[in-house]
Amino acid sequence: MCHPVPEEKTLVETEDMSAFPFILPKEKPNRPLSAAMERNYNAYLAPRPEDNELYSQFKYTQLKGLDYNGGDGTISRRDPSKVIFANGKYYVWYTHRKTIVSPIGGRNADKATDEIPTTDWDLADIYYATSEDGFTWEEQGVAVPRPPKPNVGWRSVTTTDILFYKGKYYLYYQGFMEASGKRGDDCPVAVSYAEDPDGPWTPHNEIVIPNGAAGEWDQYSIHDPHPFVYNDKIYLYYKSDFDGDPRLIRMQGLATADDPLGPFTKHPLNPVINSGHETSLFPFKGGMAAMVTRDGSEHHTIQYAPDGVNFEIASIVSLLPNAAGAYIPDAFANTDDGRGITWGISHFTNATTWENNHSILTRFDCDLSLDIDDPDMKRHNEHYKPDFYYKQALNQKQLERIKKMNDEQ
């Protein structure tokens, strides 16, 4: 997006002094424009959201076929990979936790045991499911289990994503060597590979994307590895948590490699996206598009980088899928004509109560594709029921602050 600092505008006689036209011009009109109208033509892919290929609504559908033990917190599924189509069906991989109790929370990490998880993704393995239609899924079981101590990921393997490269499949994932919460959510990235999406998966047993050196933004964690084949290389985007003064800030970085097992080189301009939580991108035209979710100054935007590195806001959206793993048919095609996405699997965390904390997988649909034209997905006059708003309730501390202000009046 281009945000030129507007020079002080003085209308000269030769300039168009008439009122802005009733029909919104499709091209930027040759007339003095306010900063907002300059941006409306310069920043987005079209002056109207319905014509912007990177604008969409998001629709959600409950998945069929996955059991959560009545939602008691002992089974969790979260952080899905991209969806791929192979062997005549769709595949998705994800973090699967099945524990004797629900998580006790990162703050209680000193009480964690080999059986008691801290966070929702502690003591997890990587499972996978397949589907004929993307709505009903059949869990196939474990793809990558936690390896024995002291291998990378012995405490938990989580938040995986898939790469297909030169006839082989690679699953990248977060490998925890201590319970999440012991010191933040620290982990590097490991990888396993297979000839077939049904496995068997061979662990590489080495850290493939290491954390940064002390003092660097990604010194403690590499989260949400998200690989593509792009620009004749492996492009792997990731998130790191940093700062922590007092709260963590989350941004996204890029590491590239010529071989899926590395070495990976971190991009010198990292972080390349200044916001977002779980990393989620897709090839679009000659570049990469990113769904930038719930953290940071530019959360709830879709961004586009023509070179995969220099991202600009391409649209502002609502209800973006969390931890989206889209179905991206051209993710590994090394394409310079990315076609976009129409659906995928994402997650809802804290699906019931904190006592029964667990996550569920869900399906999302959208029109971020150059190949479909769904005007219903392009609506931008959004309405939610009162119930939706009232769920965003004031907390106790806020209620007390308001009461105090009233009492002091």
Q: Which is nearer to ligand AAL, 31 or 182 (CB)?
A: 182
Q: Which is nearer to ligand AAL, 130 or 158 (CB)?
A: 158
Q: Which is nearer to ligand AAL, 221 or 342 (CB)?
A: 221
Q: Which of 224, 295, 365, 367 binds ligand AAL (CB under 6 A)?
A: 224
Q: Identify the residue whose tokens are 């977060």.
A: 174
Q: What 8-state DSSP symbol labels residue 152? A: T
Q: Which of 323, 324, 326, 366 binds ligand AAL (CB under 6 A)?
A: 323
Q: Is residue 252 within the footprint of ligand AAL (CB under 6 A)? A: no
- Contact status, residue 116 vs residue 100, Cβ threshold 8 Å: yes
Q: Per-residue x/- marks for ligand AAL, 163-182, CB under 6 A?
A: -----------x--------
Q: Is residue 82 within the footprint of ligand AAL (CB under 6 A)? A: no
Residue number with the shortest CB distance to ligand AAL? 159
In degrees, to the nearest 5, what angle opens at C-alpha 289 toward C-alphas 347 and 248?
55
Q: Is residue 81 within the footprint of ligand AAL (CB under 6 A)? A: no
Q: Which is nearer to ligand AAL, 229 or 255 (CB)?
A: 255
Q: Is residue 122 within the footprint of ligand AAL (CB under 6 A)? A: no
Minimum distance between the CB of residue 210 and ligand AAL, rounded to whole angstroms? Answer: 16
Q: What residues form DSSP beta bridges with 337?
A: none
Q: What residues form DSSP beta bridges with 363?
A: 61, 345
Q: Is residue 79 within the footprint of ligand AAL (CB under 6 A)? A: yes
C-beta atoms surrounding 245 within 10 Å:
7
Q: Per-residue x/- marks for ligand AAL, 176-215, CB under 6 A?
A: ---------x------------------------------
- How many Å apart are CA 172 and CA 85, to the nearest integer? 18
123-156 in b/e form (b: 16+ CB < 10 A) is bbbbbbbbbeebeebeeeeebbebbeeeebbebb
Q: Which is nearer to ligand AAL, 91 or 173 (CB)?
A: 173
C-beta atoms surrounding 109 within 10 Å:
17
52 backbone dihedrals φ, ψ, rounded to 5°: -90, 115
Q: Is residue 77 within the footprint of ligand AAL (CB under 6 A)? A: no
Q: Which of 96, 97, 277, 339 binds ligand AAL (CB under 6 A)?
A: 277
| Tokens of residue 333, six digits | 């095609």
Q: Is residue 278 within the footprint of ligand AAL (CB under 6 A)? A: yes
Q: Is residue 223 within the footprint of ligand AAL (CB under 6 A)? A: yes
Q: Is residue 367 within the footprint of ligand AAL (CB under 6 A)? A: no
Q: What 8-state DSSP symbol labels residue 269? A: T
- How many Å apart are CA 218 and CA 41, to the nearest integer? 36
Among residues 289, 293, 316, the alpha carbon closest in space to that of 303 is found at: 289
In degrees, to the nearest 5, what angle opens at C-alpha 298 toward C-alphas 297 and 302?
170
Q: Is residue 121 within the footprint of ligand AAL (CB under 6 A)? A: yes
Strand locations in 293-359, DSSP E?
Answer: 301-305, 312-316, 325-326, 338-348
Residues 42-61 touching ligand AAL, rule: CB under 6 A, are none
Amino acid in the structure at residue 162: I
- Three-class DSSP labels, 189-249: EEEEEECCCCCCCEECCCCCECCCCCCCCCCCECEEEEEEEECCEEEEEEEEEEECCCCEE
Parallel/antiparallel/unpaired status of strands 124-131 and 137-144: antiparallel
How many residues bind ligand AAL, per CB under 6 A? Answer: 12
Minimum distance between the CB of residue 50 and ligand AAL, rounded to whole angstroms? Answer: 31
Q: Which of 102, 159, 275, 315 binds ligand AAL (CB under 6 A)?
A: 159
Minimum distance between the CB of residue 53 and ligand AAL, rounded to whole angstroms? Answer: 27
Minimum distance between the CB of residue 79 and ligand AAL, rounded to whole angstroms? Answer: 5
Minimum distance between the CB of residue 121 and ligand AAL, rounded to whole angstroms? Answer: 4
Q: Is residue 237 within the footprint of ligand AAL (CB under 6 A)? A: no
Q: Which is nearer to ligand AAL, 55 or 127 (CB)?
A: 127
Residues that bind ligand AAL (CB under 6 A): 79, 121, 158-159, 174, 185, 223-224, 239, 277-278, 323
